[in-house]
Amino acid sequence: MSRRIAFLFPGQGSQTVGMGKDFYDHYSEAKEIFDTADQALGFKISEICFAGPEEELKKTENTQPAILTTSIAILRVLEKYGLKGEMAAGHSLGEYSALVAANSLSFADAVRTVRQRGRFMVEAVPYGEGTMAAVLKVERQLIEKICQETEGIVEPANYNNRTEIVISGEVKAVRAAAEKLKEAGALKVVELNVSGPFHSSLLKPASDGLQGVLTNIRINDPQIIVYSNYTAEPSKNADEVRENLIKQVSNSVKWQDSIEQMIKAGIDTFVEIGPGSTLKNMLKRIDKKVAAYNVDSIQALESLKEVGLLMEEVRV
């Protein structure tokens, strides 16, 4: 039975010091991507990926190009072994990786853009004025209602899966909403260790800055279907890609909706490409029936070989 495969790409928070090093050491395709990133950015993002220090890797303007670079380096190795996806999606930052996979963005343009995206996001709201919190086991309609009724700016930021939605906004408003959500029966509300209120309207200045960047780079129509975080629908052409990337920064990530749409369209196998396994784990809380794999190491390549997803032996 033939599988229908979609690629998923992780976002900020999946980074770890050492990511991508085994691929860089063993595959010329991966080395070429890291070398291209170093050249495009004008500094050694590869060294930050491989050796840290962690404090440097955690800086948003470094984290974003580092994860993108690692994801695309792994993608190029998977492509070498014949793995193809007919659809793709990426969580927040990961949408850029998905668009590189679809040949909508060149890798060099994407890595420069996400470096600037990270800076815009940090600069949009002074540190300490915004935050985010994960809300577990509350219906999305109730979360939306409580956010609307809470004084100040607090909004749903990430619709991750059936049991987890992240809210974002001003510190005081997020904490006030968190208390109301606990009273309303939330299993848990956990404030996240983040540098800002990502995917909220407070990030509108970052959207504006990104618009200037994206207007000046070449964007092609995606060659495979790529689901937008902003609409939870495919971006049909270059203009839609650009518009959705601009809006994505200051609006919620409709991840659960995107995954459900892909499954409805016939996808039965998802492969997460990049550091960590966050998206694979989220999938289990969206639909347990689909097959889910993640590739963040050469060892994980072997597991794909064992389930018949790669065309040839993995040789190291």
Domains of the chain by residue range: 5-124+201-306, 130-191
Report the percent of the chain where pLDDT is more than 90.
93
| Mean pLDDT in residue range 226-248 | 98
Closest C-alpha among 28, 29, 83, 25 to residue 49:
25
Model confidence at 305, in pLDDT bands (50, 70, 90)? confident
What is the rounded CA–CA span in Å between residue 186 and residue 180?
9
CA dihedral 21, 283, 189, 63 (to 10 degrees): 20
What is the rounded CA–CA span in Å between residue 230 and residue 243?
9
Report, as residue numbers or ranges, the catalytic residues: 92, 199
Q: Burial code of 120-147, b = ≥16 C-beta within 10 A, e = fewer?
A: bbbebbeeeebbbbbbeebeeebbeebb
Report the percent of the chain where pLDDT is more than 70.
98
Q: Burial code of 102-115, b = ≥16 C-beta within 10 A, e = fewer?
A: bebbbbbbbbbbbb
What predicted TM-score, i.e. pTM, was given to this entire model?
0.96
- Topology, domain 130-191: Alpha-Beta Plaits (3.30.70)
The long-range contacts involving 298-304, CB below 8 angstroms and separated by at least 24 positions, are 298/22, 298/23, 298/26, 301/77, 301/78, 301/81, 304/78, 304/83, 304/271
> Is residue 85 within 8 Å of 5, Cβ to Cβ?
yes
Give kind and range of the element (H or E) at residue 303: helix 298-306
> Is residue 133 within 8 Å of 144, Cβ to Cβ?
no
The reply to whether CATH 3.40.1410.10 applies to domain 5-124+201-306 is no
For residue 312, the model assigns a pLDDT of 62
58-105 pLDDT tens trace? 999 999 999 999 999 999 999 999 999 999 999 999 999 999 999 999
Owner of token pair 């937008």: 228
For residue 60, the model assigns a pLDDT of 93
Strand order in the sheet with 269-273: 225-226, 87-90, 5-9, 269-273, 291-295
Eight-state DSSP code of residue 221: P
Q: What is the chain's mean pLDDT, rounded? A: 96
Q: Are strands 87-90 and 225-226 parallel, antiparallel or unpaired?
A: parallel
H helices then E strands: how many in the chain? 14, 9
Is it true that 5-124+201-306 and 130-191 share their CATH fold?
Answer: no
Phi, psi of 133 (to 5 degrees): -145, 140
| Mean pLDDT in residue range 245-257 | 98
What is the rounded CA–CA span in Å between residue 157 and residue 135?
11
Secondary-structure breakdown of the chain: helix, strand, coil percentages, each rounded to the nearest 5: 50, 15, 35
Closest C-alpha among 6, 19, 230, 209 to residue 114:
209
